[in-house]
Amino acid sequence: MQLRLINPNTTAGMTATIGEAATRIAAPGTHIIATQPAAGPVSIESHFDEAVAAVGVQEEILAGEREGTDAYIIACFGDPGLLAARELTRAPVIGIAEAAFHMASLISTRFSVVTTLGRTAIIAEHLLAQYGFAHHCRRVRAAEIPVLDLEEDGEAAVARIIDEGRRAKAEDGIGAIVLGCGGMADLTAEITEAVGLPVVEGVTAAVKLAEALVGLRLGTSKHGDLAFPRPKAFTGRFEHFSGLTPAA
């Protein structure tokens, strides 16, 4: 199967890290294509960043449709543009936050999320409620590190994530931890060992869910609100979206 892994930000180093983590966990026969939009924010840390990045995600989905992609992963913990992306394809499209919440709920009755900044913790809380996992999550904790610190000051960033994970274990009454950023994709083993709890990371969780859906021959339903968008005219910088029609 061909799996298109979309990093919604434009930091190439993070795209490479995410792609490597996905490739290590993928089954034989799964070909990972790690990609990113041509334009957009270098990191995603706000509702505004997500709104801008979501357009690039849709462009990556359309590129994947031209290449015959079997499944897609949106590798940002805010799952930007997820439902819009599902409208554009029959293939499964999985957001890493939704994937991580599902996986954590299968191995523990309660989990906590450790993410980057306090403001993105609030966004994660919105997603927990939207996806129906709020009652499984005891707390969303912020290590208070900018996303790009994972690339530029990795050792210090990991230490803060581990400290927050240890506090979660001691204080939250949980059985597992969810890592709340795509840029943490390569840190699972280190944090698991240091904290002493199962640690769920969304990129790798999404890879295995995508493989399962493709193996079950389950794709995105085109009945109801996830039907293909009605073709129409777009103007200005979005003119290239005019007259969209589904891939054959």
DSSP per-residue codes, 14-75: HHHHHHHHHHHHSPTTPEEEEE--SSS-SS--SHHHHHHHHHHHHHHHHHHHHTT-SEEEE-
C-alpha span between 97 and 148 (Å, rounded): 19
pLDDT at position 149: 84
Instruction: State the chain's mean pLDDT as an integer.
Output: 95
The predicted model gives 171-191 an average pLDDT of 94
The predicted model gives 32-50 an average pLDDT of 97
Q: What percent of the chain has pLDDT over 70?
A: 98
The predicted model gives 131-143 an average pLDDT of 97
pLDDT at position 147: 87
pLDDT at position 247: 59
pTM: 0.95
Q: What percent of the chain has pLDDT over 90?
A: 91
pLDDT at position 244: 87
* End-to-end Cα, the chain, rounded Å: 18
The predicted model gives 188-204 an average pLDDT of 96
pLDDT at position 155: 85
Q: Are 115 and 124 in contact (CB under 8 A)?
A: yes
Q: Does domain 2-95+205-241 have CATH number 3.30.300.20?
A: no
The predicted model gives 213-235 an average pLDDT of 96
**Fold match between domain 2-95+205-241 and domain 97-203:** yes
Return the minimum-mean-pLDDT range out of 81-85, 155-159, 165-169. Answer: 155-159
pLDDT at position 248: 47
C-alpha span between 101 and 178 (Å, rounded): 7
User: Taking 50 as the threshold, does the pLDDT of residue 122 lie above it?
Assistant: yes
Q: Tokens for 135?
A: 């009652």
* Closest residue by Cα to residue 127 from 55, 187, 77, 165: 77
pLDDT at position 94: 98
The domain spans of the chain are 2-95+205-241, 97-203
User: Under CATH, which number does the domain 97-203 receive?
Assistant: 3.40.50.12500
pLDDT at position 31: 98
User: Taking 80 as the threshold, does the pLDDT of residue 17 lie above it?
Assistant: yes
User: Taking 80 as the threshold, does the pLDDT of residue 152 lie above it?
Assistant: no
